[in-house]
Structure 1
Amino acid sequence: MSADAIQPIRFLLSDMDGTLLLPDHSLSQRTIEAVRALREAGVFFSLATGRPPRAMLQQIEALGVDVPTAGFNGGTLVNPDGSILVAHHLPAEAALITLALLCEQPEVEVWVFAEGDWLLRDPTGPMVPREQQGLGYAPVVVESFEPVLGRIDKIVAASANAQLLIDLEAQLQPKVAGLAQVSRSQPVYLDITAMQANKGDALKTLAAHLGVALEQTAAIGDGGNDPAMFQVAGLSIAMGQAEEAVKRQADVVTGSNLEDGAAQAIERFILHSQ
């Protein structure tokens, strides 16, 4: 579907890391102004990210987001007042299968998000400082993940070996088919969430909540977890630095996050058509 085919867009759902945010996790002034212009034009704007809701608060405030947002790839939808609109936990069976595979990998750091906390067994992992900077809070060190089985929001395999994560994604998907979603939110992160925890379902739920037809929605992102919302949105936009497989599933491609690609897309494809 072409960018000109859907007019006007009434709701934009955006990824965060690699899309709205610069590599240092900050927001550019141009992006902030573009989102403000969207809202002033009467277009709803929200966030869909692999991050926990707790790690979205700063960006929600900076962007003035006043509608529900989607954390954990859509696994948890949170109202503006912090109350939970929808929550989907990873089935214990899928969690056990996932942990058994990932914990065998010496190059992989295994993180579990549950009950508002970021849990891990080894706080000295090389990926921990990056994640702590991005989330804005420290992990909780545990001896075992067993006490939170059945209440897990997301499991993350983190590794600087991007090819290893591609291989693990292929190995894990058939093992948890029908039980869990497996996708790389970034080249260094492999996310495992509940089946209902995907950005496509999040877009459907948020659009219905806001009273917006799917044909009048837009989605923008850069990661392997973003095509789920591309397939649902009236207009889908991939970031310039996204992998080719992601770009091919979008209607249009904008600049990279280093080029304020999200702001470019808002200005060109949404505000221009209002």
Structure 2
Amino acid sequence: MTIHIFSDMDGTLLDACGRVSNTTIKTIRQSSLPVSLVSARSPREMMPAIIRLGLTTPQVAFNGGIVFQPIGVTWVPLTATPINLILARQIVPILACTFPDVGLSYYTAHNWFTEHIETTVMVQSQLTGLLPRVVSFVKMRGETPVYKIMLQTLNRHRLHQLTQFIFSQNWPITAKRSGRFCIELTSIETDKAGGIDEVLAQDHGSLCQTAAFGDGDNDVAMLTHVTVPIAMANATATLKQLAVHTTKTNQNDGVAFGIEQLRQGRW
């Protein structure tokens, strides 16, 4: 039976430097299994890995905000669910004024914008290979849809304050912690499980033939939505409790190891 593989990227498929290993590339290319990446990243940030892996099935960006079809070195959207634009225009200036010391940026389908180039933005840029455009948040205008608002700080106490503030506002938006130092805001109408459903609808798949790899609490919706949920060894305790199997860490080609277990019928 063919199994459609779904995988998170950062902390799961990619190593700590944001790279996909040669072992993982070889394993996925030789498996002949359909593989879809399900990430909070933008399509542009996902494409280098997609190209190296030779993926041809629909992929999921912005935690379900965009489902897209890779075509060569480019991509075309299949479904798109941005953040409500009026809401995005309200949220970004408020966060910029209330937390001026926090790295704040936002994404449209094709570009990444920030008001200041600071440490966390540079770290993100090094991981993804995408350079942000510098703009004034106060003058945030236009009709271009916004798919993700991202906040980053290396100060855990500040991150906790930021998390409490966001939830206290009761904004109709999805807020997820990503890694140890990041909060990502996306449309309230999307999540990774919904992204999987869109991929299967496009790819004529079935929910009884799915497996997913994840490492963070933002992967809970994805792992609870598939037949075979697999947690990385470096995953959170919450995710490990939900998983049927635990594979190796992202630094030790855990996705490649798990795919081999599935192919050989051990899992």
TM-score (norm 1): 0.88
- What letter matches 1:186 in structure 2? G
Taking the aligned partners of 2:237 and 2:87, their CA distance within structure 1 comes to 29
Q: Which among 148, 157, 160 is matched to residue 154 of structure 2?
A: 160
- Kindly state the Cα deviation for residue 247 of structure 1 after the two structures are TM-superposed: 2.0
Contact 2:42 2:109 in 1 (8 A): no
SS in 1 for 2:105: strand
Corresponding position of 1:114: 108
Q: Which among 48, 51, 63 is matched to residue 73 of structure 1?
A: 63
Contact 1:169 1:183 in 2 (8 A): no
- Kindly state the Cα deviation for residue 101 of structure 1 after the two structures are TM-superposed: 3.7
Tell me: CA distance 1:121–1:161, structure 2 relative to 1, closer, same or farther (3 Å): same
SS in 2 for 1:25: coil
Name structure 2 gaps, 5 residues minimum. none
Q: List aligned pairs for 1:138-217, cutoff 5 A.
A: 138-144=131-137, 146-148=140-142, 151-173=145-167, 175-176=169-170, 179-217=172-210
Q: What number of residue pairs does the alignment pair up?
A: 261
Matched, 1:233 2:247: no
Taking the aligned partners of 2:223 and 2:165, their CA distance within structure 1 comes to 25
Tell me: CA distance 1:137–1:150, structure 2 relative to 1, closer, same or farther (3 Å): closer
Corresponding position of 1:247: 240
Taking the aligned partners of 1:266 and 1:173, their CA distance within structure 2 comes to 37
Corresponding position of 2:44: 54
Taking the aligned partners of 2:76 and 2:144, their CA distance within structure 1 comes to 21
Q: Aligned-pair RMSD on alpha carbons?
A: 2.0
- Kindly state the Cα deviation for residue 242 of structure 1 after the two structures are TM-superposed: 1.6
Q: Name the % identity.
A: 30
Corresponding position of 1:271: 263
Taking the aligned partners of 2:69 and 2:112, their CA distance within structure 1 comes to 21
Contact 1:32 1:63 in 2 (8 A): yes
Corresponding position of 2:28: 35
- Kindly state the Cα deviation for residue 116 of structure 1 after the two structures are TM-superposed: 1.3
Matched, 1:100 2:84: no
Q: Deviations over 1:104-161 (max 9, x none)?
A: 12441101112411101111x1112211112212111001262157711100001112
SS in 2 for 1:65: coil
Contact 2:8 2:38 in 1 (8 A): yes
SS in 1 for 2:11: coil
SS in 1 for 2:10: coil
Taking the aligned partners of 2:163 and 2:240, their CA distance within structure 1 comes to 19
Taking the aligned partners of 2:155 and 2:13, their CA distance within structure 1 comes to 25
The structure 1 segments of at least 4 consecutive aligned residues displaced by more than 6 Å after TM superposition are none
TM-score (norm 2): 0.90
SS in 2 for 1:227: helix
Taking the aligned partners of 2:167 and 2:92, their CA distance within structure 1 comes to 10
Name structure 1 gaps, 5 residues minimum. 1-7
Q: List aligned pairs for 1:13-24, cutoff 5 A.
A: 13-24=6-17
Taking the aligned partners of 2:265 and 2:247, their CA distance within structure 1 comes to 16
Taking the aligned partners of 2:224 and 2:19, their CA distance within structure 1 comes to 28
